[in-house]
Amino acid sequence: MSLYDDTLDLLRELIRNACVNDLTPSSGQEVRNADTLERFFADTPGVEIARYESAPGRVTIVVTVPGTDPAAEPLTLLGHTDVVPVDTDRWTTDPFGADIIDGRLYGRGAMDMLFITATMAAVTRDVARSGRPTGTLHFVGVADEEARGGLGAKWLSEEHPDAFSWRNCLSETGGSHLPVADGSDALVLVVGEKGAAQRRLHVTGDAGHGSNPYGRESAIAKIGEVARRIALIDVPVSEDPLWQGFVRAFRFSPEVEQALLDGTDTTAFEHFGELSRYAHALSRLTISQTVVRAGSAINVLPSSAILELDIRPLPGTTQDDVDAILTDALGDLADDVRIEHLITEPATVSPTSGPLYDALLATFDEFFPGVPVVPTVAAGGSDLRFGRRLGGVGYGFALHARQRTLGDVFAQLHTHDEHIDLEDLDLTVQAYRSLARRFLGV
């Protein structure tokens, strides 16, 4: 069979294994996909296979093709094997059936990110069958990415940092197209991701019977005022070159471009169309109020209330910076609010230069000659951040047909009837095989 056929068959099996991660330690059961991948590499000459189990059933598989030159640059293909839950009633196909309909493969994880994971595995096996590469190649089928890697990449980076090389990593996603204003083309290459600065804000009030509220301070009214003040925070637009390059890639009118770059007119984001929310997130630190809790019985005045914030900082913004922004917004209420840190992680970004980055640009140019490549930052997280923290570089890489925009890819993430166009699967397989030849010498 062809490399594409091998990839497609593997992808369908990975989807059917239904390794659903509901964020609990016993879910995921990526052992099923690890077993599938180990069978896939059975009898492949020259590969080394290792398995790492962080908790019962939470298995990551590492396949290594040793290089001939220890000094050559290694390459790690970091693909996760878990998927998010589904609302079966909202799907028009079996979410784990891996059905092919009108040139599309449907199934949970088809886009996020099993089509890339299957491609990585198939290309790794093809490289091994072609002879030893100059640089060492690792394929990693990682558990628990959808729960921020606590039982996957994070655990590996802390407990088994030498299981594979973190020096040059590829993962999700990239290679979609921007809807440039003048109709020309541009390709997306993900070079970094925003961080996490989750906060829980606590306030107190006077407890008592609901029938006697007079003279008592309401925790609910206080947390409501806290929420109002947080909502009024006006975060300035970033001056980061990645944001500025993203804006200029769209070739808007000078007036629109300037309004976006200096942040003088927030309605200018409407010019991004389907990418307006992503563009806004890329332009600044974002603060989303996501959870509020107070009280347990209708006849009891609660003595406390909390508000939880999902805050995503850009590279260069520290946790102290975030606390200062919140404290300033709270004003005279600041002394009455306790700020608790939840998940906190710095933003990470890789350089737009170096051997792997240059190889990615050359690969894009092979398939889309002369099309500019726009480096950008993901608003969410990926396993690549752990490699960057260990001193490596990491990029999101795939390849989509000209008509598939970044907005089209975003629309498939965690959605009902998730699918991948088979044309894009074929392009991604070709692109990864070409990159392996270019970067590893095989």
- Residues 247-274, mean pLDDT to the nearest whole number: 94
In a domain, 247, yes or no: no
Q: Is the pLDDT of residue 442 over 90?
A: no
One domain for residues 319 and 407: no
One domain for residues 168 and 122: yes
Lowest mean pLDDT among 22-31, 54-63, 65-74, 264-273: 264-273
pLDDT at 380: 85
In a domain, 262, yes or no: no
Q: Is the pLDDT of residue 34 over 90?
A: yes
Averaged pLDDT score across all residues of the chain:
97
Q: Percentage helix, strand, coil, to 5, in the chain?
A: 40, 20, 40
Helix, strand, or coil (residue 405): strand
- In the structure, what pLDDT confidence band is assigned to residue 66 with cuts at 50, 70 and 90? very high
In a domain, 14, yes or no: yes
Could you identify the residue written with the tokens 């396949």? 63
Spell out the residues 6+ positions from residue 395 whose beta carbon is closer than 8 angstroms to its own: 169, 170, 171, 174, 189, 190, 191, 350, 356, 357, 360, 384
pLDDT at 197: 98
In a domain, 384, yes or no: yes
Q: In the chain, how long is the greatest CA-to-CA distance?
A: 81
In a domain, 217, yes or no: yes
What length is written for the chain? 442
One domain for residues 360 and 211: no
Q: Specify the pTM.
A: 0.94
One domain for residues 68 and 9: yes
- Residues 204-211, mean pLDDT to the nearest whole number: 96
| β strands within 205-333, DSSP E | 208-209, 286-294, 300-301, 304-312
In a domain, 243, yes or no: no
Q: Is the pLDDT of residue 264 over 90?
A: no
pLDDT at 1: 81
Q: Is the pLDDT of residue 135 over 90?
A: yes
pLDDT digits (tens, 9 = 90+) for 312-324: 999 999 999 999 9
pLDDT at 173: 86
One domain for residues 38 and 49: yes
One domain for residues 291 and 370: no
Instruction: Residue 330: give its domain's CATH number.
Output: 3.30.70.360
Region of residue 305 (left: phi > 0; alpha: psi -120 to 50; beta: else): beta
pLDDT at 266: 83
One domain for residues 29 and 132: yes
One domain for residues 14 and 136: yes
pLDDT digits (tens, 9 = 90+) for 100-121: 999 999 999 999 999 999 999 9
pLDDT at 368: 98
397, burial (CB in 10 Å: exposed 0-12, middle 13-18, buried 19+)? buried
One domain for residues 89 and 208: no
- Cα angle, residue 309 at apex, residues 305 and 312 outer, rounded to 5°: 170
Backbone angles phi, psi at 438, to 5 degrees: -70, -40
One domain for residues 307 and 388: no
Number of domains the chain contains: 2
- In the structure, what pLDDT confidence band is assigned to residue 8 with cuts at 50, 70 and 90? very high
Question: For residue 359, how many other CB atoms are within 10 A of its CB?
Answer: 21
- Residues 293-321, mean pLDDT to the nearest whole number: 97
- Residues 14-31, mean pLDDT to the nearest whole number: 97
Q: Are 58 and 152 in contact (CB under 8 A)?
A: yes
pLDDT at 381: 86
In a domain, 256, yes or no: no
Q: Are 63 and 138 in contact (CB under 8 A)?
A: yes
Which of 330, 345, 360 is the C-terminal boundary of a domain?
A: 345
Which of 298, 329, 345 is the C-terminal boundary of a domain?
A: 345
Enclosing domain of residue 26: 3-180+348-440
pLDDT at 403: 96
Q: Cα(349)–Cα(161) distance, rounded to whole angstroms?
A: 20
One domain for residues 99 and 216: no
Instruction: Residue 378: give its domain's CATH number.
Output: 3.40.630.10
In a domain, 154, yes or no: yes
Which of 314, 329, 345 is the C-terminal boundary of a domain?
A: 345
One domain for residues 307 and 381: no
Q: Are 105 and 419 in contact (CB under 8 A)?
A: yes
285, burial (CB in 10 Å: exposed 0-12, middle 13-18, buried 19+)? buried
